[in-house]
């Protein structure tokens, strides 16, 4: 699939078929995250692939009851290591949020290219997700997504977006 078609047709999917994801497809999607760029190439991430039904259900509850998350055959939890060293004042401790978000975007777009649906989930209890998955103290959850084949195979068009004239300016703000 052409790159621009991938980004144009990706959308948040909130209903999934239970069909399993072939291992080679899953590997390609994870590989897309692995090769993402990061500040100083620190790669401060870890992706937890959750397949266990009970854990998926608990995660959906920890995402404030967004139960569609547990419908997908896989839930991916993207974690970031807290970075405490000086990186030339590049956002300090928060820089891992940028790095993990870039890798997660790679993953989500690769999923679309494979015909898989995702939904970036930012509404969750960090503490509860950490407890469910045994995530260590110096690591935080950045994003979660269900991963699976959409019930409605027509990905369609993304929702409305602001026009370029509103979001781009030349030379000054």
Ligand X SMILES: Cc1cc2nc3c(=O)[nH]c(=O)nc-3n(C[C@H](O)[C@H](O)[C@H](O)COP(=O)(O)O)c2cc1C
Task: Please report how close the Cβ of residue 64 comes to ligand X at its closest, in angstroms.
Answer: 8
User: In which element (H, E) is residue 14 found?
Assistant: none
Which of 11, 28, 46, 151 forms a contact with ligand X (CB under 6 A)? Answer: 11
Is 159 among the residues that bind ligand X (CB under 6 A)?
A: yes
Q: 90 or 120: whose CB is closer to ligand X? A: 120
The 8-class DSSP code of residue 71 comes to G
Instruction: Please name which of 102, 50, 104 lies closest in space to residue 75, comparing C-alpha atoms.
Output: 50
Residue 62 sits in the site that holds ligand X (CB under 6 A): no
**Quick one: 54 exposed, middle or buried, by C-beta within 10 A (0-12, 13-18, 19+)?**
exposed
Nearer to ligand X, 73 or 146 (CB): 146
Point out which residues pair with 121 in neighbouring strands.
Answer: 144
Site map (CB under 6 A) of ligand X, residues 105-144, x = contact: --------------xxxxx---------------------
Name the minimum Å distance from CB 156 to ligand X.
9
Who's near 29: CB < 8 A, 6+ residues apart?
107, 110, 111, 114, 116, 147
- If the CB atoms of residues 27 and 64 are measured against ligand X, the closer one turns out to be 64
Give the one residue of 66, 95, 140, 145 binding ligand X; rule: CB under 6 A.
66
Burial 124-144 (b: 16+ CB within 10 A, else e): beeebbbebbebeeebbbbbb
Site residues (vs ligand X, CB under 6 A)? 11-12, 14, 66, 119-123, 158-159
């Amino acid at each position: 699939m052409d790159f621009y078609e991938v980004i144009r047709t990706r959308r948040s999917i909130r209903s999934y078929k239970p069909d399993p994801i072939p291992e080679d497809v899953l590997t390609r999607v994870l590989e897309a995250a692995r090769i993402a760029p990061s500040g100083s190439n620190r790669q401060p991430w870890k992706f937890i692939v959750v397949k266990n039904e009970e854990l998926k259900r608990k995660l959906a509850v920890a995402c404030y009851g967004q139960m569609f998350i547990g419908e997908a055959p896989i839930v991916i939890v993207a974690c970031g290591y807290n970075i405490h060293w000086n990186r030339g004042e590049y956002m300090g401790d928060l820089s891992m949020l940028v790095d993990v978000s870039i890798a997660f975007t790679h993953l989500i777009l690769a999923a679309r290219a494979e015909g898989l649906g995702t939904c970036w989930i930012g509404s969750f209890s960090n503490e509860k997700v950490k407890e469910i998955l045994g995530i260590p103290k110096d690591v935080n959850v950045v994003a979660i997504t269900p991963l699976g084949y959409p019930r409605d195979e027509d990905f369609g068009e993304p929702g409305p977006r602001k026009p370029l004239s509103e979001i781009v300016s030349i030379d000054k703000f």
